[in-house]
Amino acid sequence: MLPDFCRKALLYACVLFAGCASPLSAVHAQSATQFHNEQEARQHCPKDTVVWVNTKTGVYHFKGQRWYANTNEGAYECRKEADGEGDRATRNGQ
């Protein structure tokens, strides 16, 4: 039987490891390149779709949608990179 302090230390180590190894932390470790203008984003990802990501919510919008380049906080990103960091497309088409 392990002494009480060893059991606590082992439990603490397991909790730390679980937090580091979670898929969520791996997704957020990859950060997409953000651009202040659409042209720079197009140059960075010429074969991908440029989206406007609301950086506060992690929701992105496509050109022609209501909130494309119209949120208080946001940036242009490549869609694949935005997906890779855990952002998602708007669900209501705006």
pLDDT in tens, the chain (94 residues): 556 554 554 455 544 444 444 343 333 446 889 999 999 999 999 999 999 999 999 999 999 999 999 999 999 999 999 999 999 999 999 9
Strands 88-89 and 59-61: parallel
89 shares its domain with 72: yes
For residue 93, the enclosing domain spans 31-94
> What is the model's pLDDT at position 24?
38
Domain total for the chain? 2
5 shares its domain with 38: no
Supply the pTM of this predicted model: 0.68
- What are the residue ranges of helices labelled H in 1-94? 4-21, 23-29, 38-44, 79-84
47 shares its domain with 9: no
Q: Which amino acid is at 3?
A: P
> What is the model's pLDDT at position 25?
36
Element containing residue 75 per DSSP (H, E): strand 75-78
21 shares its domain with 59: no
17 shares its domain with 56: no
4 shares its domain with 24: yes
Instruction: Please give the C-alpha separations between residue 30 and each of 25, 33, 37, 53, in angstroms, as whole numbers.
Output: 9, 10, 21, 15
Q: Is 26 helix (H, G, I), strand (E, B) or coil?
A: helix
39 shares its domain with 75: yes
Give the C-alpha separation, 42 to 62, whole Å: 13
